[in-house]
Amino acid sequence: MVNMPVLSVVIPMMNEEEGIPVLFGRLVPILEQTGRSFEVVCVNDGSQDRTLAVLQEFQLRYPGIAIVDLSRNFGKEAALTAGLMQAQGQAIIPLDADLQDPPELIGEMLDRWDKGAEVVLAVRAKRETDTALKRATANVFYRIINSISEISIPPNAGDFRLMDRSVIEALKQLPERSRFNKGIFAWLGFRTEIIEYERPPREVGMTKWNYRKLWNFALDGITSFSSAPLRIWSYIGILIAGCAMLYGLVVIFKVLVLGYRDVPGYASLMTILLFSNGIVLIGLGVIGEYLSRVFIETKGRPLVIIRKVHKFGQND
């Protein structure tokens, strides 16, 4: 392995045994055509199949492969961060193992980098390979987070981008454990250029993302980059209190001026109580989401535990 490669490609993997031959069959010739020294940092994120063994077999054929073997599954965001921290290149590109991020764009990314871009962001021009529900929920998510966040997170952009070494050094200064990498990359700033591409279908295997994971991912993004969900409950509380005061004034007016003596009904009373209690519980739930993340940060545990880093010809 080249000690200080020009290019590092970082690939988080979980149960990608079937796709590894296809991945390296496309990726390695493209990297060789760039004429730059390179490394491929593969992060084994607690795979239960033969992912690690297959990676070690390919490492014998391609010494530029480094394998970061995590002690268990920590999730894609943590695994990607671990790979970025291990990468040694002057330009670093995160890549999905399913080849939905086409490695053929790497050459154009490097050209933009040579011309001075510090970040070259790949944006999906179309998302036809996603389901209609996933496209709709993604659009809603980006509209919400960009309307309440102080930074703008580009829609239809994943982790696929080229980042200069200076960007990675800045990234190392952000130690948070509840990570939303797309937001973190946007928060860092730096000179950014955009290239568009059409995302192809997954080459091999099935996606590891389900709607529960996507929901938790969206919560991490919103709570990491906006305090608006906390602030909005103050306004809701003021609104409800104002309505209660207004209703009280109406009751006083009816009694003192009009002489009405209404007997409150059970149904209306229970409706108001249940509604008010529901609002309080929802507000507590929002506070709990933020508090749980504060709790995670205060424990100070490492983001990942690396069992071993496998490099060709050496053991770390």
**Two tokens at 159?**
């982790």
Residues 46 and 15 in one domain: yes
Q: 208, 213, 212, 227: which is closest to 293 by C-alpha?
A: 227
Q: In sequence order, what are the residues at sequence separation of 6 or more whose Cβ sits closer than 8 angstroms to the Cβ of residue 283?
A: 233, 236, 237
Residue 2 covered by a domain: no
Residue 91 covered by a domain: yes
The structural domain count of the chain equals: 2
Return the pLDDT at 197.
83
**Domain boundaries, position 213:** 7-226+301-315
Whose tokens are 């099935």? That residue is 206
Residues 265 and 197 in one domain: no
> What is the rounded CA–CA span in Å between residue 59 and residue 61?
5
Q: How many Å is the Cα radius of gyration of the chain?
A: 25
> What is the rounded CA–CA span in Å between residue 179 and residue 161?
17
Residues 196 and 49 in one domain: yes
Residue 44, SS3?
strand
Return the pLDDT at 1.
42
| 157-164/65-70 β-pairing | unpaired
Residue 60 covered by a domain: yes
Residues 273 and 162 in one domain: no
Return the pLDDT at 92.
92
Residues 200 and 272 in one domain: no
Residue 95, SS3?
coil
**DSSP class of 172:** T
Residue 155 covered by a domain: yes
Residues 81 and 133 in one domain: yes
**CB 111, CB 91: distance < 8 Å:** no
Residue by residue, DSSP assigns 114-140 as: HTT-SEEEEEEEE-TTS-HHHHHHHHH
Return the pLDDT at 202.
66
Return the pLDDT at 93.
93
pLDDT in tens for each of the 316 residues of the chain?
446 888 999 999 888 888 888 889 888 899 988 888 889 999 998 888 888 888 888 888 888 888 898 988 888 888 888 899 888 889 999 998 888 888 889 988 998 998 888 999 888 876 666 666 666 777 777 777 767 777 777 777 778 889 999 889 988 888 877 777 887 888 888 888 888 888 776 666 566 555 666 666 667 666 676 667 767 766 777 777 677 667 667 766 766 666 666 556 545 565 676 677 767 777 777 777 777 777 667 766 677 788 788 776 554 4
> What is the rounded CA–CA span in Å between residue 93 and residue 12?
12
Residue 202 covered by a domain: yes
CATH of the domain at 142: 3.90.550.10
Residue 1 covered by a domain: no
| 91-94/7-13 β-pairing | parallel
pTM of the predicted model as reported, rounded to 2 decimal places: 0.70
Residues 205 and 108 in one domain: yes
Residue 80 covered by a domain: yes
> What is the rounded CA–CA span in Å between residue 192 and residue 171?
15
Residues 44 and 90 in one domain: yes
**DSSP class of 104:** G
Residue 144 covered by a domain: yes
Residues 144 and 30 in one domain: yes
- Burial of residue 118 (CB within 10 Å: 0-12, 13-18, 19+) is buried
Residues 160 and 206 in one domain: yes
Q: 183, 176, 40, 195: which is closest to 119 by C-alpha?
A: 195
**Two tokens at 112?**
């933009």
Beta bridge partners of 215: none
Residues 100 and 172 in one domain: yes
Residue by residue, DSSP assigns 230-277 as: HHHHHHHHHHHHHHHHHHHHHHHHIIIII---PPPPHHHHHHHHHHHH
Longest dimension (CA), the chain: 94
Residues 222 and 260 in one domain: no
